[in-house]
Structure 1
Amino acid sequence: MDARQLEYFLAVVDEGGVGAAAEKLFVAQPSVSQALRSLQRDLGTELFTRTGRRLQLTPAGEALIAPARQVTHWMELSRAHVDAVNGLRTGRLVLATMPSQAVYPLPSIIDRYVRKYPMIQTSIRAAGTPREVMSLVRSGGVDLGIMAVTDPVDSGDLVLHPLLRQSFIVISSKNVDLPAQGPLSYAQLEGQRLIIGQPGTGMRRVADQVIATNRSTIAVVETEHREAILPMVINGTGIAVIADAWRGLAKESGLVVHDLDTPEFLDGSIVHRDVDLTPAARAFLLLSGAQLTGAPTRGREAS
């Protein structure tokens, strides 16, 4: 058993199949298949079973994920520290982010990062909720996670660095009759049709509060696809309560943006495991503007 076999095994786990893993690793598919066969032979057990065209992890495969992540992390950390001696010229950074944070502030941070470290290979994975972000971070599938919460979240053994606070806004088409002046109260959304996000998100929490406040305000669409919200609002399907990160895109799309009078905020943070970060991850954290002074937050994050 060697590090390459474990790297290929984890790629199959993360990508959901041999073909996708080969594309991620920039190798031929037979190379991945051969590495898996060799690994299973070395371990004396099957790591996957095939259900139709999909690979399913066996209990042995599930048990291998955590130690395999540890081995590959330390291998990557060793390579990264050697690279850092030469000025962080090479390396790899894998991030997970929620949709609103992918709109802001991630693009500006990424821009600064790739300009300063153009040879670092950066990958960004999507996560719909804070728990999905933390799951990816905890599993070792990503180096850093960017998320935002309205309520305290049990982060367990993870380390959180406060990043920024965002308010909520209401977006609507020009045909929707809403007051033009001042922040809108929940009561002023009486009778509106809301496009809402999935449970476990800040926008869903606020939308549920709006619906509970008004007798005739309804949820007309629930979607996990945050990128579908603006087109639906443009089409007149309904209005939406979203994070302030979307303000610029909403205005550019010709929508009307209203501030919302709500006690709720989204508190953003960067999260990582309580281990030594690779130089590439550490450099991103330093460039992000996240709060690094004092002791980082562990356990429960304050919202």
Structure 2
Amino acid sequence: MRPALRDVLNAGDGVVTRTAAECHEAVDRNGLAYAVRAGHVLRPLPRTFLLPELLEDPHAVLRAALAYADGPVAASHLSALRVWGLPVPGDVWTHLMTGETRHVRGAPGVLVHRRAGFVAEPPDVLEREGVPVTRLEAAIVDSWPLLDGEAKRAPAIMAVNNRMTTPARLTEELARAPRLAGRRHLVHLVDRLEAGCRSPLELWGYDRVFRGRAFAGLKWQVPVRLDGRTVILDVLDEATGVNVELDGLAHHSSRQDREWDMRRDAALSALGYTVVRYSGARLLREPDAVRAEVLRTLSTHRLRR
């Protein structure tokens, strides 16, 4: 590769458009075409060039798309979720956001969204990993109609679990999107997150098992100090000390997990708690039976009090 072209690419962190490159007298269209044919640079988008070694960067194509757009834009939707480090399935599109009146070029594989009042600067846009990106809450809400199944709920659940955002902030963002496709389902999810649910299994339990007046006193995700550390109880009836644990496969399947659960349960019992565990499989397959058993357990302990 010619030194002049390498210098231009390095100045752009490995990405440059043809227009920007040709502003330098030592770089011309023929030189760019030769560099592509020789494999010295890649052309992921029309008139946009990228150093091959940058493909190790998970956001390389996104950086190229931002350079190609050549306007006041930011990564948005699923592309923004990836930058925020949230789970997103494979997507052939790179999503960019700009203002409603801005002219930003689209391209194969690049989807430009336009929003009235959007400005590609704080507070609408933040920089993360060197990439301008829409706010986390906006990315979660915007991406909702583009996902299906568990992938639809995963970003919001993980973001709240990891304290990257709060249900209150998601509610504020939802207020700005009254016409969002499937909005009521996202509102429902945020309500459950506000109640303390932190996993798909807990969401199922909240809606299908622990419902009604008899369970009105239950608290979800309750912190308790135990042997000098804080543990989180899935579900707790504070009046009786009954702690219901919902054991999904992700954290309760190995021998080490089971040993930790037994030690934890014994320590909680010493503090006066009664621990009742249900596997995720049983909770999903026998919700009515689990509901009846928990009701009997709560009734028995309330009579003793």
By the TM > 0.5 criterion, same fold? no
Structure with higher strand content: 1
TM-score normalized by structure 1? 0.29
TM-score (norm 2): 0.29
- The structure whose Rg is larger is 2
| Greater relative contact order structure (CA < 8 Å, 6+ sep) | 1
